[in-house]
Amino acid sequence: MRSGDRDAGQVPYFRCTLEFTCRFIGADMTMFDVKTTARNKTAGKASTRTARQTTLKDSIGISGIGVHSGKPSSIVLHPAKSGSGITFLRKADGNAIDQLIPAHVNNVGDTRLCTVLGNPEELYVATVEHLLAALRGINVDNVLIEIDAAEVPVMDGSSRPFVEAIREVGTIRQSAPRRYIRVLREVKAAHGNAHAVLRPHDGTRFDVEIDFESEAIGRQRFIAELTPEVFAKDISRARTFGFLAEAKQLRAMGLAQGSSFDNSVVIDDEDRVMNEEGLRYEDEFVRHKLLDAIGDLALAGSQILGEYKSICGGHKLNAMILEALFADSKNWCFEDAAPVEDQPMYSTPVGAPVGLEAASQPVAAAKA
């Protein structure tokens, strides 16, 4: 069923957009304002519980540079069979053996500046979150990602280039039903002043809040019931961001070598956005943090049915909440969509509700 279509017996779909400023009492009993943006889209259960998995209709080649390495990087997204999930094929140099690295939290090797899959001392793939957010956000289930470098191309610092490339080739619906991970019990994680909770919810909902001393950012909150339409319109275009002073320090350490105004929102020492074109969204900063969270939580291996709330979070906290979820089998369960025998397999435009089932195996060697 295409997104937005409904049968006579299906709950009518609606969309509402709310923007409001809430006044809260902080832990120190001081008052503060938080600008909150909410995106909500509700459809009948028939559109989500009877979905099939999808893959790409054809292979996609994408090239760019790594934001930290500054080195050229090329990826090719290949169609993959039902149930195979999202897997990286890290090509090795010379006579070394290529590595298959499933996109799963079990394979996270580092979260300090980005999310890294694989062993950072050997073959690995860094900065995977923007690509994974695009695949999860528009519901592409099964993909083999061939990559010839250690870092996914940063492109414009958002997920939009990946979304557009996928839209260009389209997706195809497969025979297997979607598999979810349903959150059964609330789990929490904390790291310094960052806190997160993942709780039961009949859908996929994100509630992300950030708080920066910089007046250019301040305190922002974004709430979204995740759908392909919401992701493409309201989240995918949000770019990574940073401060000019920190960029100078990182470059001195050999990092952020590929960072530029073309792929990052930069804030100067006077709390001004330096990019000539300004911001893509008024609250682009929190939307990008949400984009990162979507990509990082895609490492659960299947679409999560639950609500994720994070305050001042980042890649480490996102990984920690998945570890907390999987620490006890009573916290979650698999839930398969009902088989749909009367729906033909066909190529669908991005935006149709489709499914996800990803591999959870550890890193494996693959011969070239």
More confident residue, 257 or 131: 131
Tens of pLDDT, residue by residue over 276-329, are 999 999 999 999 999 999 999 999 999 999 999 999 999 999 999 999 999 999
CATH topology of domain 14-50+179-336: lpxc deacetylase, domain 1 (3.30.1700)
**The pairing of beta strand 86-90 with beta strand 143-147:** parallel
For the chain, where do the domains classified as CATH 3.30.1700.10 start and end? 14-50+179-336
CA distance 205 to 39: 10
**Res 168 pLDDT > 60:** yes
More confident residue, 248 or 336: 336
Please report how many Cα atoms fall inside a 13 Å half-sphere around the Cα of residue 236, on the Cβ side.
25
CA distance 251 to 257: 6
CA distance 349 to 68: 33
Closest CA to 236 of 162, 312, 317: 162
**Res 366 pLDDT > 70:** no
Q: What is the DSSP string of 297-317?
A: HGGGSSEEEEEEEEES--HHH
Give pLDDT, residue 227. 96
* Helix or strand (DSSP H, E) at 109: strand 108-110
For the chain, where do the domains classified as CATH 3.30.230.20 start and end? 52-177+345-366
Give pLDDT, residue 199. 98
Whether the full predicted model's pTM is greater than 0.85, yes or no, is no
Q: For residue 231, give the DSSP letter.
A: I
Residue pair 27/193 in contact by the 8 Å Cβ criterion? no
CA distance 88 to 81: 14
Q: E strands along 204-249, which residues?
A: 204-211, 219-225, 241-243
Give pLDDT, residue 43. 38
Give pLDDT, residue 128. 98
Q: Dig out the tokens for 1 from the structure.
A: 């069923």
Tens of pLDDT, residue by residue over 18-38, are 333 333 334 333 334 456 777
Give pLDDT, residue 38. 74
Q: SS3 of 336, please?
A: strand
CATH number of 52-177+345-366: 3.30.230.20
* Helix or strand (DSSP H, E) at 229: helix 228-230
Tell me if residue 315 is catalytic: yes
Cβ atoms within 10 Å of 359's Cβ, excluding its own: 20
Split at pLDDT 50, 70, 90, the class of 274 is very high
**Residue whose pair of structure tokens reads 């083999």 in the numeric block:** 144
Share of the chain above pLDDT 90, in %: 71
Catalytically annotated residue among 104, 130, 288, 315: 315
Tens of pLDDT, residue by residue over 183-212, are 999 999 999 999 999 999 999 999 999 999
- Mean pLDDT confidence for 39-66: 75
CA distance 46 to 51: 8
Split at pLDDT 50, 70, 90, the class of 361 is very low
CA distance 287 to 56: 26
**Res 9 pLDDT > 70:** no
Q: Dig out the tokens for 233 from the structure.
A: 């319109």
Split at pLDDT 50, 70, 90, the class of 253 is confident
